[in-house]
A and B are shown apart, each in its own frame.
Chain A
Amino acid sequence: MFTGLNSIRFTSIALVLGAGLTAGVATAADLVVGFQQEPTSLDPTADATASIDGMLTQNVYESLTIVAENGEVHPNLAKSWDISEDGLTYTFHLAEGVMFHDGSAFNADDVLYSFNRAMAEDSVNPSKGIFKSIESVAAPDANTIEIKLKGKDAFFLFNMGQGDSAIVAEETAATNNATPVGTGPFKFDSWTRGDRLTLVKNPDHREAATVALDKVTFRFISDPAAATAAMMAEELDAFPGFPAPELLPQFEADPRFRVNIGSTEGEVILAMNNAKPPFDNVEVRRAIATAIDRDEIIDGAMYGQAVPIGSFYPPHGTAYMDLTGAYPHDTAKAKAVFDSAGIAGTTVTMRVPPFPYAMRSAEIIQAQLTEAGLDAKVENVEWGFWIDEVYKKKNYDMTIIAHTSPNDMGNFARGPKYFYGYDDAEFSALWESIKTEADPVKRDALLKQGQQYLTDQSVHGFLFQLPLLGVFRNEVEGYWSSSPVLYMPLKGVSKG
């Protein structure tokens, strides 16, 4: 947008005229990070807002395990664990000498309390489902936790590394929504709702020696143009989840910045209401997959910055198989199917939530479906409406949504009550075997079967993996480039 020469000239004028006016630049150990979504609460065990995990999980709060960038599960508050022969009993050996930020000691009682709270009848844990496989939790001694499962759960250790399973102290659980207290490498410092959240380094953390940052300030900037301006004006050091792919080229062209295009766990799908004609007909669903052109959608909606998917599994996962060629784009073929199914000219409505990736994709898909002979309509709805009408009441034909949770192929086994309206005993049985398979190699083989199955059934239009777009000042290093979870640990991040 601005030529280099001009910026230099203006910078020097600014140095002369505005030196006294410019706000103090943060020192090397202070990081200022932009976030599009503002948290409403600061307790990840009671609110699903993604930015709570993005800012606090594994920074302020810690869990028994932690998931690494490549999806592997590593020790965290549990320094090690043993699994019984039958795969049903997990014995966690807790890290010793750990303190909560309020100075109280961490021990097995806190783990016990956290699990009982999440599993209680009146629990409002947003992922209560991940605790459903637990039969009992016990603390044989102060540094040991023994968890018995009802049945094998291949994702158990992974799930124990989520924000939903953060370990909190009983004394502070009720006030964590505004003043979070955890055991993590960063302590909560302050929160000005609507403006910023500040964390400071926890010098007492067991890995404090490896933490480079002294202070991290998160600024909440929802508007993409404002986010761009704030980066350009060097008010921010990093914007790890940048909202607008169309604005990235100006950062790529600017030597001050580094742009990262990574992957998230978000599969973007053109969801079809499988319980509702004509989408209950697998031939129609396959024809819809044939009618849509993923490349055109990615170019138009994501400015080329996304990886296409042919099923419901992230391309960075170990079990990924490329099924994008299963239904090659062929408008004439799709049209013929719609004709023979007697639905040519039928009105199908996409009820689209207010996310740029969804709204832009919808317009392109509308044109593609219209070309194939359907009367496709787009209805942009607000998020509260979407959650109620589409998700809860299943009152929709098609919609576009990203499923951002990890290991979420089980969505297709949630039965007719779930908004997919997809009820398939064969897939449910397959998911059950995936979920209970402890051997990673065998599990990956089953996951491949699952991908293949969902593609064959063409349950939805599988579009692309939501990218993780990040803009960083050159000095900022150590940020994850992709995330298999909703959090992004600051432990390894440094500046300058």
Chain B
Amino acid sequence: MGYFLFRRTVGFLLTLLAVSVVVFAVMNVLPGDPALTILGLDATDDALAALREQLGLNDPLLTRYFSWIWNALQGDFGTSHSFRVPVATLIGERLPMTISLAISGMVLTLIVALTLGIGAAARHRSFGDWGVMFLSQLGIAIPAFWLSILLVLLFAVKLRWLPPGGFSGWSDPVAAMRSLILPTVALALVQSAVLTRVTRSSALEIMRQDFVRTARASGLSHRRVLWRHVLPNALVPIVTIVGMQFAALVTGTIVIENVFYLPGLGRLIFQSISNRDLPTVQALVMLFAAIVVTANFIVDLLYVVIDPRLKVRR
């Protein structure tokens, strides 16, 4: 286990290093000029030169990269070119929004997918099973932004039950939860449709195994067999997909945050790329990469918890 952790940590750091090089290179190869983006089309040459100097854009590329890495290692991710505040502050302001949304999306995905997936498997080839399969097919086919617009039109514009967008933080928990309902549904739809199918087929496979028949034969109830014997054994492929989905949920927030005008990281990265705000883009991409790598890492740990046999193999 100790060696496993060490190997994963080294892999984690190497991934982040590679990501930082790629982002830095891409952002510098991309046509664009942060100073001109900030000062606009009427800017004079001397004002642009002064701003470039202020932003440190005149230093050689490698100098900028290494000073960035050096500062980042000490926890200083630099100052945003366009907002002129520390990048860490910007991210700190937006993180609660995106994390709340990603987590609520994940929870809803799990609840829907496990219930419907296991339920459909238990009633294999029934109308209920077909219904679930049909709905999940539909869920995969519907684009999230289109569904978002429909949800807003119905629940915010017509019925006025929920706000059409915006999020003003957790200081008012009721308002915060109300703001999250529609974005969560829109975000979770595709993911739960995919996961329902995985859960169903994985459960079906386990149900055909001998130990399930043995459990049944020993007189356990249908429900108990399902939740105590089938589900735990069906979890390995489910957890794999969930790990991948968490990454997709975090990036999926970019679209959702735009439609529901939520002040999260997705909107920030979108804006920062078009403003050529390199320090912000750099830090955000690193953060997203770290989230994805961490999610995979947790999945690997979960495998061991779910299936103790894997521990021996490592």
Contact = CB atoms under 8 A, between A and B. Distances in A.
B54 A384 contact: no
Contacts of A232: 157, 164
B40 A21 contact: no
Contacts of A21: 161-162, 178
Contact of B260 (A122, A129, A226): A226
A193 B83 contact: yes
B139 interface: no
Interface string B79-111: 000111100001001100000000000000000
A13 B94 contact: no
A387 B162 CA distance: 40
B165 A41 contact: no
A280 to B, nearest CB: 23
B261 A221 contact: yes
A303 interface: no
Contacts of A221: 165, 261
A457 interface: no
A233 B163 contact: yes
Contact of B161 (A17, A121, A123, A384): A17
B258 A222 contact: yes
A359 to B, nearest CB: 15
B57 to A, nearest CB: 13
Interface in A85-139: 121-129, 132
Given A18-B161, A177-B84, A384-B32, A123 B38 contact: no
Given A2-B158, A10-B158, A48-B39, A220 B83 contact: no
A195 interface: yes
A178 to B, nearest CB: 6
A304 interface: no
Contact of B33 (A47, A196, A233, A387): A387
B9 interface: no
Interface stretch (B60-68, B228-236, B262-270): B262-270
A49 B274 CA distance: 13
A384 B31 contact: yes
A11 interface: yes
Nearest to B264: A194
A194 B254 CA distance: 13
B10 interface: no
Interface in A178-201: 178, 192-196
Nearest to A401: B41
Interface string B229-273: 000000000000000000000000000001111111001100101
A394 to B, nearest CB: 13
Most buried by A among B40, B54, B162: B40
B268 to A, nearest CB: 6
B47 interface: yes
Contact of B50 (A6, A122, A192): A122
A48 B38 contact: yes
Contacts of B126: none
A40 B161 contact: no
Contacts of B271: 38, 40
B177 to A, nearest CB: 11
Nearest to B175: A23
Interface residues of A, number: 60
B114 interface: no
Contacts of B33: 384, 387-388, 392
B152 interface: yes
A230 to B, nearest CB: 5
Interface stretch (B166-174, B203-211, B292-300, B301-309): B166-174
Contact of B46 (A18, A121, A220, A225): A121
Nearest to A40: B82
Contacts of A233: 152, 156-157, 160, 163-164
Interface string B23-57: 00000001111001111111110110011011000
* 7 smallest beta-carbon distances between A and B, as pairs: A48-B40, A194-B263, A384-B32, A388-B31, A195-B263, A40-B82, A14-B160
15 contacts: A14-B161, A23-B175, A41-B38, A41-B83, A194-B262, A194-B264, A195-B262, A195-B263, A219-B261, A223-B259, A232-B157, A232-B164, A384-B276, A387-B36, A403-B41
Interface of B: 30-33, 36-44, 46-47, 50-51, 53-54, 82-85, 90, 93-94, 149, 152-153, 156-169, 175, 178, 258-264, 267-268, 271, 273-276
Interface of A: 1-2, 6-7, 10-11, 13-14, 17-18, 21-23, 38, 40-41, 47-49, 121-129, 132, 177-178, 192-196, 219-223, 225-226, 229-230, 232-233, 235, 382-385, 387-389, 391-393, 403, 405
